[in-house]
Amino acid sequence: MKSFRSSRRYMKGVLALFFCCTVAASAQAVDFLPVSDVHTGMEGHVDTVVTGDDISSFNMKVLGVMKDRGPSGDLILAKFSGPVIDETGGIVHGMSGSPAYIDGKLVGAVAYGWGFADGTIGMITPIEDMVKLWNIPYEKNLANPWRDSQLIPLGMPLMAYGFDPSALKFMKEKLPEYEYSTYDTAAADGDDVAKPLKAGGSVAALLVDGDLKLGAIGTVTYVDKDKVVAFGHPFLKRGSVGYFMHNASIFTVVKSVDSGFKLGSMGAEVGAVTEDRGAGIAGTSGHIISGIPMAITVHDLDMNRTREAGVKVVEADELTPTLSATAVYNFLSKTLDRNGEGTSTLTLKIQPRDVNIPPLERTNMFYSNDSIGIKSVDEFYNIIDVLMNNRFINYEIAGIQVEVSVAKDKKTAMISDATLSPAVASPGDTIVINVKLQPFREEPVTKEIFFTVPKDQPYGEVTLEVRGGGVVPLPYLLEKQKYNLTDEIIRRLKTYKDFDEFYKELRNTDTNNQIVVEILEDGVSMVEDSDKADTKGAKIDVADETKIPGAVPKGKSKENIPGIDDKDNKEPYKAKINTEYVIRGDGQFVLKIVSPADRDKEKARLAREHAKKLKEQAKAEDESSTKAAKTETAANTVKKTSEAPDNSPDKTPEAPTNTPDHSADDSNDSVN
């Protein structure tokens, strides 16, 4: 698998140095006008970008102060006018953060408007509330929950570059709580050139960067050396964050009946957004954060084509699982260029920042008859989710590598039969289980699995389950303390005592292409495949041909092995092998655990019975062969008798009939 290329990081490091040298030129010394000194009738102007990077201005007149009306405190109600407002149809999304000045003093940032209303009326967030974001904790931001369905922040739309429409739909379904519209955008000339941020200029806060870009575009309100505040309202209101701060350039303003928006490109990375709260976003220019880099490779085996991509996503417990899964799904969708069925193999490597924690590496197979793209990334999403939201440690991810191969063929197989030899064993013995698979539209195949009985296994009957790695046995489904997630690997997770136990289970969880044999603590009936309601459990035979129909309860121990405690919470033992199919179906049978002496007696008895059966079978075959030989001899005798000439004296042999030969005469004929 190709590792994430570092050239992008190198370029961003260069940009960081560039910014350290140039940011001082963009620092602005400007006085503030406190909201307490703002009165009805005051007039001023607002700076913003309408096209490209050029800053334009429009007029502002104060209508009043709305006490404690915003998420961070007071809001200033104002009316806007001028040629820019006439051109745009009013204040629009993307103007959020546009600095408002009265008599040369900075009042705050244009931040809110009303939907389906006069676009010339809006609200301004006071600048003194915004600059407090540089000195968090700011309890008023943290403690004042705020929501108004009519008051609309002017930076809500997300600009998306490089995304497939189906990928954006996938993302929205995973994050329904974020009610943001998403618009496709393009790249602009000069996007790769870093430019100093300045008040009134455009800025973008990105969640995804690289070959994909996803973020919100707004306006810079104020710059103090390397410190920046913008937007005037929250982006996602996630408190202390690590978004990617980028330049932005505006293509045009798109008018709308509801509220128009600036359509722009997201340019070079120039810093980091560190706070996202009620009064706006704040950050530092010249400081580039790594986020979580991802290297993604997709192989379309049917079309014989490969796509490689590199992105980085923000590191946030709630956002990272969805953003990273969306990135993988996006490149799957673009590479396949189709919807529908298929079989995929996904190889994943997650590198933690803590060098004392080993990487999580996993390969799994998936099949779907309607959306192989979504099926392929579901488990990936769940793994990232449980890692970043585990209750034990702060699991920080240094990098992710994903490689996916997809074909349209249905590579599935059903467990149709299995035999156990022998059906009796002692603790520590190894038994052989032959599992017969019926692949989809292929000839049956048989796989051999060696299962070792635990050395501390108590005597008595135990239930063995043979199943596909993605099939969940009933006892696990009924456990009370389980992760309420949709993917098979996560549904198998239970409550763990510490991170080491949790991480070990996650790394070793069965895969869909494995055949698994394990001891069940409780007997269960055949478990139907969750994907198909009509799937039947496997028929299970044992070597002595004793049928084990339906559910088999676990037998109670007759006696314990000397020196071994019969622990109720003993970890189940299992054996598993990989196959080239997604395995479906399962079944159970009984294995009798006895002492070595009793095992040998039982095996000897079974051997005698088997030998007796073979002897009887051989005798029957000999008798059948002898009878067949006699029948054949008699038949041959009758045949020879019927074919012999009849020379009896009462019958005169017929004389041969002589036919005249006229050929010589014919040859001498002539025509006179």
Q: In this predicted model, what pLDDT tens digit does every residue of 267-294 receive, in sequence order?
A: 999 999 999 999 999 999 999 999 999 9
Residue 253's pLDDT band (boundaries 50, 70, 90)?
A: very high
Contact by Cβ (8 Å): 205, 218: yes
Q: What angle do CA 301, 304, 307 make, to 5 degrees?
A: 90
pLDDT band at 621 (very low <50, low <70, confident <90, very high): confident
pTM of the predicted structure, to 2 decimals? 0.78
Looking at the predicted structure, is the pLDDT value of residue 173 above 60? yes
- Supply the pLDDT for residue 208: 98
Determine the 3-state secondary structure of 405 from DSSP.
strand
**Contact assessment for residue 415 and residue 402, using Cβ atoms and an 8 Å cutoff:** no
Greatest mean pLDDT among 366-370, 486-490, 572-576 lies in 366-370
pLDDT digits (tens, 9 = 90+) for 137-165: 533 333 333 344 445 455 468 999 999 99
Q: How much is the CA Rg of the chain, to the nearest whole Å?
A: 39
Give the containing element (helix H, strand E) for 229. Answer: strand 227-230
Instruction: Give residue 354's pLDDT band: very low, low, confident or very high (50, 70, 90).
Output: very high
Sign, CA torsion 517/523/524/525: positive
As separate numbers, helices (DSSP H) first and strands (DSSP E) second, the chain gives: 12, 30
Q: What percent of the chain has pLDDT over 90?
A: 62
- Spatial contact of 201 and 208, defined as CB atoms under 8 Å apart: no
On the question of pLDDT at 51 being above 70, the answer is yes
Lowest mean pLDDT among 224-233, 310-319, 467-476, 546-555: 546-555
Q: How confident is the model at residue 651 (pLDDT cuts 50, 70, 90)?
A: very low
Distance CA 38, CA 441 (A): 78
The stretch 168-192 carries a mean pLDDT of 90
pLDDT at 447: 97
Strand 227-230, strand 98-102: pairing = unpaired
Q: What distance in Å separates the CA atoms of residue 60 and residue 77, rounded to the nearest whole number?
A: 10
Residue 531, Cβ neighbours under 10 Å: how many? 15
Residue 653 has pLDDT above 70, yes or no: no
Give the chain's domains with CATH numbers. 30-289 (2.40.10.10), 310-407 (3.30.1490), 412-470+510-524+573-593 (no CATH)
Per-residue pLDDT band for 452 (boundaries 50, 70, 90) equals very high
Band (pLDDT 50/70/90 cuts) for residue 117 is low
The average confidence (pLDDT) of the chain is 81
pLDDT of residue 607: 82
Q: How far apart are CA 230 and CA 140, in angstroms?
A: 18
Average pLDDT over every residue of 351-373: 97
**CA 40 vs CA 44, 68, 114, 437: distances in Å:** 12, 17, 20, 81
For residue 19, list its beta bridge partners: none
**Cis peptide bond upstream of 422, omega within 30:** yes
**d(C-alpha 653, C-alpha 651), whole Å:** 6
Mean pLDDT of 638-651: 54
**CA quadruple 470, 376, 385, 383: dihedral, nearest 10:** 50
Angle at 34 between CA 30 and CA 37, to 5 degrees: 120
Closest CA to 46 of 70, 76, 81, 88: 81
